[in-house]
Each structure stands twice: as C-alpha cells, then as structure tokens.
Amino acid sequence: MSQFWKPGGERPQLLDDGEGGVLFFSPSASSSSSSSGFGYGSIDKLRQRLPVYKYRTAILYLVETRATTIIVGETGSGKTTQIPQFLNEAGWADGGRVIACTQPRRLAVQAVASRVAEEMGVKLGEEVGYTIRFEDVTNTDKTVVKFLTDGVLLREMMDDPLLSKYSVIMVDEAHERSISTDILLGLLRKIQRRRPDLRLIISSATIEAKSMASFFRSSKRHQEAGATDLGPSKEPAILSVEGRGFNVEIHYVEEPVPDYVQAAVSTVLLIHDQEPAGDILVFLTGQDDIDAAVRLLTEEVQSHGKKSHGLIVLPLFSGLPRADQDLVFSPTPRGKRKVVISTNIAETSLTMEGVVYVVDSGFSKQRFYNPISDIENLVVAPISKASARQRAGRAGRVRPGKCYRLYTEEYFVKQMSSEGIPEIQRSKLVSCVIQLKALGIDNILGFKWPASPSSEAMIRALEVLYSLGVLDDDAKLTSPVGFQVAEIPLDPMISKMILASDQLGCAEEILTIAAALSIQSIWVSGRGMQKELDEAKLRFAAAEGDHVTFLNVYKGFLQSGKSSDWCRRNFVNAHAMKKVIEIRAQLKRIAQRLGIVLKSCESDMTVLRKAVTAGFFANACRLEAYGHNGMYKTVRGSQEVYIHPSSVLFRVNPKWVVYHSLVSTDRQYMQNVITIEPSWLPEAAPHFYQQRQLGPSIH
C-alpha cells in the first residue's frame, strides 16, 4: 500500500454531520506544501492557488483510508487537473499501477489531458495520456495518469473485468449523470467488493452527495461479511471544496425571445459595445446553431462594424478540430475580446480563464426516449435551474461578472425544473444492456443503479436484442453473434449490420458506411448556403439513399488524393472525412480480429441494402401519404415521421425505407435514409415482424 499521508503530519480534521455517519471535512483544513515535492515554477504557483490545493492532504488522507471519496467543488476549483496529479505525487501510480480519471465528454478528455501533461512538463501520450473511442494516446509502459471517457472504461472492463491495472478511479463530472457514468457507478460498486485495494473518487460540481454516498455505502450484510477485512473503511466520505467564485449579476429578458440565436448575437454585440473588457461565453445547443451564430458575428466583424471591432469569435463543440480547440483556451490578446460560442460542454467540463460575461440561451440538446413508441431522438430542450446556475457561475471565475439569460425571470422561477433527469431514464437501453450482458451481469433487472431506468425501456431493449440475434431465449448473449456485436464499440445495430455484411459479401462498403454514420455529418454546415450545398450533394446522390451517397463521397475523396481543395469545392467537410478514414481503419482492424472477410459487392447495391436492413430493421417505415414531402409511419409503432431535408431522398418519396436516426423539430425527421424491400424485414427479424404488420402491399 502506498504511503503518502505522512503520519505525524497534521491530521486533517473530520467533522461528523450527525446524520447517517457521513463525514464532511473541516473547510479550515490546511495544506502540507512541504511534503508535496513541488518546485516553485510559475505553473506550480498557479496550481497552488487553486482551491483544491488547500485540501491536498485531506484528499490524500481520505483516499488512503476510505474506499470511496466523494468530492464536490465548484467548476474551476482544480478537481480534474489537480487530483490525479496529487495521487501520482503520492505514489498511487507506483509499481506499474495507473490512475484513471473519467469524463463523460470526449473533448473534455482531450483538453484536460493536454493541460495536465503541460503542467507536469511531459509529452502527451507518455506519462499522461488519454483514450477516447477510436483514439488511444497512451503508452502502456509509461502512462501513469490516464484520462478517458466513461464509455471507454466500460469497454476496458470487457477485457479486464476488475480493472486491475488501476489503483484509483476518479469518476469525474458525476453530476452530469450521463448514461455511461451511471452504468460505470453501478459496476464499480460491484468491483469494489472484489478489490479492496481499489479506491474510488466521485467528483462533481454539484451533486446529491448524500444520495451518492448511500449508493456506495455497503449494505449491512456486506459490512458484516467484510468486517474482518483489513483495508479502507467502506463508509464513503464527502469532501466539499469551498468555491471561490465571484458574484455574478443576473439579467433576464423582459419578453420571451422568438429566436435565441439572433438574440444571443445581439446580446454579444451589446455587451461588447457597453461593457468593460472581459471575454464572453455563449451557451447555445449544437453545431448548427453555433455555426449560425459564429457566421452572423463574423459577418458583423468583417463588415468592420464599429460594434464588433476587436471581437474574436470562436466555436466550441465536440468534434471540433484540435487547432480550433486550442484557440479557445489560448489567452486573449491585449485589446481584444474573445467570444466563445459553446454547447453545454463549457457548463462544467471545461474552464476558460477570462470569461466575465455569460449569455445563456436556456436550451441544450438532450436525448429523449419514449419506450412506448420506441423512438429516441435528440431534442433542443430547456435546461434545468441547476444547469442555469452552473452556466451563470462561469462568469465569476476571475472577477465579478454578468450573466444574460435569454428567458424571463418568471420562466426561470416558475417553469424551469430544478434538476435534470439522468440520461439513463431518457435513453434507449440497447447498448447499455448488451454491455452489461457482455460483462456477465445476467440479472439486469436486479442490477443496482444510481437511478433506475424504466422497465418498459428495459423490455424494449431486450426485445430488440433478441430480434437482432444477440440474446437467446434465456436472455444470454448468443455465440458468436452476441459476443461479436458486444465487441464492436458501436451501436449494436451498426455492429449487426457489419456482421451481416460478412455473410452478404459487402464488408468493404459497410465499413465505410459504419464509419460515416458514426460522425455527425460529412457535409459542411449548410446554413446560409443551402442551395450550393444541395447542388453539391446532387453530384454524389444515389437513388438508394444516403448510405450509398456516403460511398460515392468516400470514393471521390480517395480519388482526389484526400484533397482538402476537393472537399471545399464539393461542400464536403475535410476534417470529417479524415475522421471517417481513421474510424474506418479502426473498424477494419476489429473486423479482421473477428474474422470478417473484407469483400466488396462492387455495384450490387441490393446486398448492401440488405446488410443495412439486417441491423436497422427496427427503424423501418412505410410511405403513408404522398405529397411534397411524404408522410411515413414506423412499421412497428405507427409513428408519423418524415424524411429530413438533409437526406438525398427528401421529396423522393420511396415506398419503404429504414432510417439511421431521428431528430425532432416541428416533426419527427428521419436522418440518413435508405430504400429497402419490405420482404427483407421478416427475413432479417422474423420475431420482430410478422407478415401481417407489413400489410398486403408486400406481395
């Protein structure tokens, strides 16, 4: 066991809160800088100024003596960047062990890893590394501090169920309650029983710390069983790191705004015109509205309007190229003002120095799932009060700031819900169930969750997995299909499509399609130049639909020698295409490992469409009403859906299609659509589709 809290040194003072034995830390706990081994370079000085630094000894003491430590501290207090370093300095990575820190978001993983590497003065990918899906920047022999998404850590459990190489696992941003975080917490709770040497840190900006503590508290039965154990106390500790945020003045709009993008742009210009220096952080919802706002502001800047002189406009969303991310975090040049237009990634995952003004649209993109209709989509939905407070807090990092809420005070007080709903309660559970099954958790209904998913959603997931041939009659993973699907780090429907392509002899093509489907869009964003984009798409459009169109773009891109100039001319997103190539290469490796033969179907699009159907049969729709843009109904749930305007099949009205995903705005729109023959459905999933559902029109 590592020794780092120096006995004889000042023992941190613990206070009992008197309710259920949860322990809080005295906020007056002092640091023990003498034993820290820091030098006094400027980075060290910066580190020592962060609020968590004062709690260094306390944190190390708790991690040594408790199996689980819950740390709550305001965003920017240094939890993510400092705690893994404290642990490393204290020896938790000695003897080949690794300290892990998980994040729900890929971009946050990259950003904090590169920051920590910089603070430690090491090259990213050596002592400090990171892993996100399709990107592993670690070194098995050298990496001691590893940042990773919670999803990747779940994947690692498939090869190493007890996560034995990690000495401490810090589950960060736990308040976000992402689906992977919740699954991970449930599994770590089990692992702890088997590995008394493992330490957990659950950290977050705001959290129901007590309910988290009771989740990790051993039940009576287990405590008795473990009573003879040496090792850390099973009683979780709660440490609250005092914030140091400055006061933030809140402004509300007087009337609801009709268009929050426009309102955000006007507010930025107003702040720039009337307020003293300080950067602006704007919260919008996704790449499309962020791109629109960036464009509007950039036009304003380029037209040399006096109102925008000296503004630097930067977007921030996941999938943003590295160079653009770096710009966001680099210091603002003197005399300039930075405006960062972000998704809710900047709410708590990332800290930008210098932000004094926050503009909050009041919305974010959220996943919603309805188990009755079996439809999951991403919706722009109102945020919770907890999120609104976090967003406002971003303005008070360096000095008193201001937050402009683009909603009324009455709305905030009376209508906004106080907390968000955990993602697991508003998601499709197909991937989640298959992962648990692959980890040998057979009694899924008896699994202990931080928040239980609905049983309808669970049943839906079991049903789809059964139809995909992934689960057998006893709800166990089938061999080999079930295990193979679980091994591919993609949505099980995509994985099934890949496996089917092996039998159908079109794996070459399907891997390209799978790669293209796993990124947001291969096209440049169309706002403001929709017509040009539509014309460009026509050059590649295939009558079969979007999947085959991807193949045409991919071929064109390769033939151009992967030229960015070619991309620009064709409104193709060059960065996205590079990602497609990377992901495809990874999938190819996985496919080869599974023994899939990489065969091309040449020009036989029927087998290709059959392979897509084999994975996506659950998303089959039939045209119900012709029209400008015809109305479809899902075959299974009879839900009304339409082809999205971004699809090459928009206004084409084929009779039968399967879609890849749905987005909901004024209607439910199908994105990435391909034509099929209805007779393929009962072939692909006999239990799912009975002939009568498909109606007489199939013969």
Residue 622 engages ligand ADP in binding (rule: CB under 6 A): no
For ligand ADP, the binding residues in 106-145 under the rule CB under 6 A are 111-112, 115
Can you read off the two tokens belonging to residue 393?
A: 């807090």
As beta bridge partners, residue 214 has: none
Q: Which residue lies nearer to ligand ADP by CB, 112 or 608?
A: 112
Closest approach of Cβ 254 to ligand ADP, in Å? 33
- Rule CB under 6 A: say whether 56 interacts with ligand ADP: no
Q: Which of 23, 50, 58, 591 binds ligand ADP (CB under 6 A)?
A: 50
Exposure letters 335-355 (e unless 16+ CB within 10 A, then b): eebbbbbbbbbbbbbbbbebb
How far is residue 558's CA from residue 19's CA, in Å, rounded to a whole number?
65
Other residues' Cβ atoms within 10 Å of the Cβ of residue 586? 16
Stretch that binds ligand ADP, among 69-77, 88-96, 369-377, 592-600 (CB under 6 A): 69-77
Choices 76-84, 296-304, 317-325, 493-501 (CB under 5 A): range interacting with Mg ion? 76-84
Q: Hey, what are 277's tokens?
A: 């220096």
Q: Which range in 68-76, 130-138, 373-381, 656-664 contacts ligand ADP by CB under 6 A?
A: 68-76
Binding mask 22-61 for Mg ion (x = CB under 5 A): ----------------------------------------
Strands 401-405 and 98-103: unpaired
Would strands 375-382 and 363-370 be described as parallel, antiparallel, or unpaired?
antiparallel
To ligand ADP, the closest distance from the beta carbon of 276 in angstroms equals 21
Q: Which of 417, 409, 352, 430 is nearest to 382 (CA)?
A: 417
Least Å distance, CB 353 to ligand ADP, is 5
Contact partner at residue 329 from ligand ADP, Mg ion, none, CB < 5 to 8 Å by partner kind: ligand ADP
Tell me which of ligand ADP, Mg ion, none is bound by residue 206, counting a contact when its beta carbon lies within the kind-specific cut-off of 5 to 8 angstroms: none
**HEC-encoded secondary structure of 387-450:** HHHHHHHHHHCCCCEEEEECCCHHHHHHHCCCCCCCHHHHCCCHHHHHHHHHCCCCCHHHCCCC
Q: In this chain, which of 56, 79, 146, 660 binds ligand ADP, going by CB under 6 A? A: 79
Only segment of 72-80, 530-538, 560-568, 623-631 that touches Mg ion (CB under 5 A): 72-80
Nearer to Mg ion among residue 80 and residue 390 (C-beta):
80
Q: Are the C-beta atoms of 393 and 387 separated by less than 8 Å?
A: no
Interface with Mg ion (CB under 5 A), residue from 80, 181, 366, 570:
80
Q: Which two tokens stand for residue 121?
A: 């003065």
Choose, by CB under 6 A, the member of 68, 75, 143, 646 that binds ligand ADP. 75
In 566-655, at which residue ranges do the beta strands (DSSP E only) sit? 620-625, 631-634, 640-643
Residue 143 interface partner, choices Mg ion, ligand ADP, none, CB cut-off 5-8 Å depending on type? none
With respect to Mg ion, which residue has the nearer C-beta, 80 or 427?
80
State the DSSP H helix or E strand holding residue 547, giving kind and residue range, or none if neither. helix 546-559
* Cα–Cα dist 273/270, whole Å: 5
Strands 199-204 and 23-25, bridge-based pairing: unpaired
Considering only residues 171-200, where is the footprint of ligand ADP by CB under 6 A?
none
Residues forming a β-bridge with 620: 658
The Cα 548–Cα 545 span in angstroms is 6
CA count, 13 A, side-chain hemisphere, 624: 14
Shorter beta-carbon distance to Mg ion: residue 342 or 675: 342
* Binds ligand ADP (CB under 6 A): choice among 12, 76, 84, 236: 76
**Binding flag, residue 81, ligand ADP (CB under 6 A):** yes
Of 36, 68, 69, 80, the one binding ligand ADP by CB under 6 A: 80
Q: Provide the strand spans (E) within 110-266.
A: 128-132, 135-137, 145-149, 166-171, 199-204, 237-241, 248-252
Complex with Mg ion: residue 98 or 350, whichever CB lies closer: 350
* Pair of tokens at residue 458: 């669970």
Q: How many residues bind ligand ADP (CB under 6 A)?
A: 16
CB neighbours of residue 269 within 10 Å: 18
Q: Which of 519, 490, 521, 150 is nearest to 349 (CA)?
A: 150
Residues touching Mg ion, count (CB under 5 A): 1
Q: CB atoms < 10 A from the CB of 533, how many?
A: 19
Residue 149's binding partner out of ligand ADP, Mg ion, none, with CB under 5 to 8 Å set by partner kind: none
Nearer to ligand ADP, 343 or 435 (CB): 343
The site map against Mg ion for 211-250 (x = CB under 5 A) is ----------------------------------------
The DSSP secondary-structure symbol of 233 reads B
- How far is residue 361's CA from residue 363's CA, in Å, rounded to a whole number? 5
Min CB(349)–ligand ADP separation in Å: 8
C-beta of 119 vs 582, nearer to ligand ADP: 119
Nearest to ligand ADP of 80, 525 (CB atom): 80
Residue 188 corresponds to which amino acid? Answer: L
Least Å distance, CB 585 to Mg ion, is 32
CB of 80 to ligand ADP, least distance (A): 3
User: Within 323-362, which residues bind ligand ADP (CB under 6 A)?
Assistant: 329, 351, 353
Q: CB of 340: closest distance to ligand ADP in angstroms?
A: 13
Which CB sits closer to ligand ADP, 47 or 295?
47
What's the angle, vertex CA 613, arms to CA 607 and CA 619, rounded to 5? 160
411: partner contacted, choices ligand ADP, Mg ion, none (Cβ within 5-8 A by kind)? none
Which CB, 84 or 489, lies closer to Mg ion?
A: 84
Compute the Cα dihedral for 277, 316, 368, 186 and give only its sign: negative
Let me know: does 571 contact 696? Beta carbons within 8 Å: no
Neighbours of 68 (CB within 10 A): 28
| Interacting residues toward ligand ADP by CB under 6 A | 50, 73, 75-82, 111-112, 115, 329, 351, 353
| Interacting residues toward Mg ion by CB under 5 A | 80
